[in-house]
Chain A
Amino acid sequence: MGLADVRYLLFDRSVVYNLGKCPSDTRSLLLLMVLASPPSHLSIQFTRPLRKTAPESVTRNSSRDVTRVTFRRFVTSNPNLTRALSTAAQPYPFSTAAKIPPPPANPLPESLRQGKGLMQYLTQTLPSPEKQNLLSTYFSRRHPLRVLPGSVLTVTLGHAPTTFSGVLMSVRRRGLDTSFVLRNVINRTGVEMQFFVSSPHLRNIKVLQRAGGGGGKAGRRMRRAKLFYLRDSPEKMTAISAGVRG
């Protein structure tokens, strides 16, 4: 798709891509061999036309992996930079272990460069689309589908305990740092857990019973934003949980 391939006279492409994972002595040896070859720039053969800007068809791996498309040709006056880049075909020569997330959508408004609305922009762009969806629907202030305190939720986690259900006691809205507390009684012990919405461990949130609305048996409206009084009244906890099973 227009990606530039680099074929070294001495190595094939698979070795270049795995360069980052070689043991350090092997890697030094490989770099020495390339450096020792006469004019290193001339020994590079390009099988496809170069792209001067970042290719758009960047393979998007999970956030843990480095971007797979690793070649870019740099035109710079610094011979050390050129030498470092040409030998290992790294997009970022200052740190091989660095991760390179996909670039932002162009163009960025000029007001962001002056800091206007920057933190809000970061709240909206830093998390993944699934987390953005959660933040803008379940945990927003005015969305019709927002979870109100008094709802019963089940949370699926990546670490133990894998699932936790409970009454939503509070939602702490801080943009990306939004979190909520669920309370449950397990083996006659009150247990509260705080979950951060943007945490990678939080896999799924299921609403078992919604609170709010008109009132009545289904959807009892709580008159508080934070239900810390539930810690002192187990009968109210039972009343809420009875509705779930019934």
Chain B
Amino acid sequence: MLRLWALGQRPRIFSCRSLHTTTVNNAAAASDTTSSSAPEWTPTSIRTGLIARKRGMTVMWDDHGARFPVTVLQLENCQVTANIQTVRKDQSEYHAVQVAASDKREKTTTKQMLGHFKKAGVPPKRIVKEFPVTPDAHVPVGTTLSAIHFVPGQFVDVIANSIGKGFQGTMKRWNFKGLRASHGVSVSHRSAGAIGAHQDPGRVWPGKKMAGRLGGERTTTQNLAVVRIDSSLDLIFVRGCVPGVDDAHVMVRDAKKKMTSVAQVQHAKGETDKVLPKGIDIMPFPAGTREMAAQLPPIIQAPTHRRSPFIPRS
């Protein structure tokens, strides 16, 4: 299949002595063609993510009639507030896109943050987070991002604070087995049991798994498939469950394991067909914006690639 983004790639330098001049000519030709101003997605690019709100869960049926649960995420005026480019101590560059979401009253925003949002030209927001990107993936400050940023059929990681469970015992917190239900066990059926050895080491190791507060911490759910996009309401339907309560802010980004690293590995191997998941040709780059969404169909749904589970295999 023709991959338009693959046309502009530099050809690999083969270790073949006789191709010296052709390799040089090809490299020169490649540098001439890649003179377009708009950045183009490459398999080594890392795009920005979005901040959404978890609205709830519902259910959908695929083309074969198999049921699967979906979580509905909604963007609430998600805008880019800054592009970060710094140099670390070891002289490597750190690039990131700072994104903010959920408008807030000026009265409840600090003067410092008010100045920051005014510099970006956006209304004050409740949540500000940044996503590390490659240098070509910076987005102009003030751009309003849209649900069209994600392509149905791709995989995403969703990051949010998990539901707080309070002070919990070791069985729930660390999957301890507890003790027997009968046979003489007295008053300690769910306890942790022993917490150390004897005189050697004669202490409890630091980090010993014990009862304590569970939940309410940053959790990442990886490799969730995007099933449906609704850019009229800025909805992203992801398959499966997502950490956090309803209406919680979540960060959504391209899956590191199934999108970013797969693209890099397959690109290095030269397999252009396996760089992106099945059915996806190119990603919106550097980001899917509201202007882009106005020109595309409002609702897009992913097709079903699997075989029907209702038909027995031969």
- List A residues at the B interface (Cβ < 8 Å): 24, 27-28, 31-32, 54, 63-64, 67, 72, 74-81, 83-84, 91-104, 108, 112-115, 118-119, 122-123, 126, 158-159, 175-177, 196, 198-201
Contact = CB atoms under 8 A, between A and B. Distances in A.
A168 to B, nearest CB: 20
Main SS at interface, chain B? loop
A102 B299 CA distance: 7
A27 B65 contact: no
A78, A96, A201: which has the most chain B beta carbons within 10 Å?
Answer: A78
A108, A112, A126, A175: which has the most chain B beta carbons within 10 Å?
Answer: A126
Interface string B270-309: 0000000011111110000001100111111111000000
B58 A75 contact: no
Given A94-B283, A100-B300, A119 B1 contact: no
B65 A158 contact: yes
Nearest to A196: B67
Nearest to A62: B63
A99 B58 contact: no
7 contacts: A28-B2, A84-B4, A95-B153, A100-B301, A102-B299, A104-B230, A118-B72
Given A77-B38, A102-B299, A159-B310, 8 more contacts: A92-B300, A98-B303, A99-B300, A101-B301, A113-B76, A115-B247, A198-B61, A200-B61
B59 interface: yes
Contact of B152 (A64, A77, A98, A112): A98
Main SS at interface, chain A? loop
A81 B59 CA distance: 33
B296 A91 contact: yes
B65 A98 contact: no
Contact of A28 (B1, B153, B298): B1
A96 B230 CA distance: 17
B232 A103 contact: yes
A98 B300 CA distance: 7
Interface in B54-75: 55-56, 58-61, 63, 65, 67, 72, 74
A122 B61 CA distance: 14
B267 interface: no
A98 B279 contact: yes
B60 A126 contact: yes
A95, A99, A114: which has the most chain B beta carbons within 10 Å?
Answer: A95
Given A97-B303, A115-B247, A119-B55, A31 B2 contact: yes
A80 B63 CA distance: 31
Interface string B27-39: 0000000001010
A90 B279 CA distance: 14
B65 A176 contact: no
A175 B303 contact: no
B51 interface: no
B233 A113 contact: yes
